[in-house]
A = this chain, B = another copy of it.
């Protein structure tokens, strides 16, 4: 510290992990988003569809908690996925406040193709790294993320 040199201020910022991860994340986001556009899905729609497919029929509030997403946004996302025929909302007979959201067969097959597309995009993102380096990067990122999850 106290080694701050304003003549390299921008260079300094752009060497920080927070900035580097932001840039790499932005590129990863764009790559995956572009790939998913082939299936007509946005990133958030893909995440919701995957959560619904993985965790059986679930209530929207459960979706909110699991994805740490805003309740408001869930409504729109499910509407869009519903319009595409990928998920369906039914009233939960056991608790009439809830909607039981589940994926349709079409939703599941779409999800299959999306997973392949997302994998492909991630391969492109990591092109500059060797297989061992990719594993290493994922491990480091995972540790940072898990430490965050646990506060």
Contacts and interface: CB of A to CB of B under 8 A. Distances in A.
Contact of A29 (B2, B18, B54): B18
A118 interface: yes
Interface string A1-36: 110101111111101111111111111110110000
B128 A21 contact: no
A108 interface: yes
A115 interface: yes
A136 interface: yes
A118 B27 contact: no
Contacts of A137: 17, 137, 140-141
A18 B51 contact: no
Contact of A115 (B9, B17, B29, B50): B9
A17 B134 contact: yes
Nearest to A68: B23
Interface of A: 1-2, 4, 6-13, 15-29, 31-32, 46-47, 49-51, 53-55, 66, 103, 108, 111-112, 115-116, 118-119, 121-122, 125-129, 133-134, 136-138, 140-148
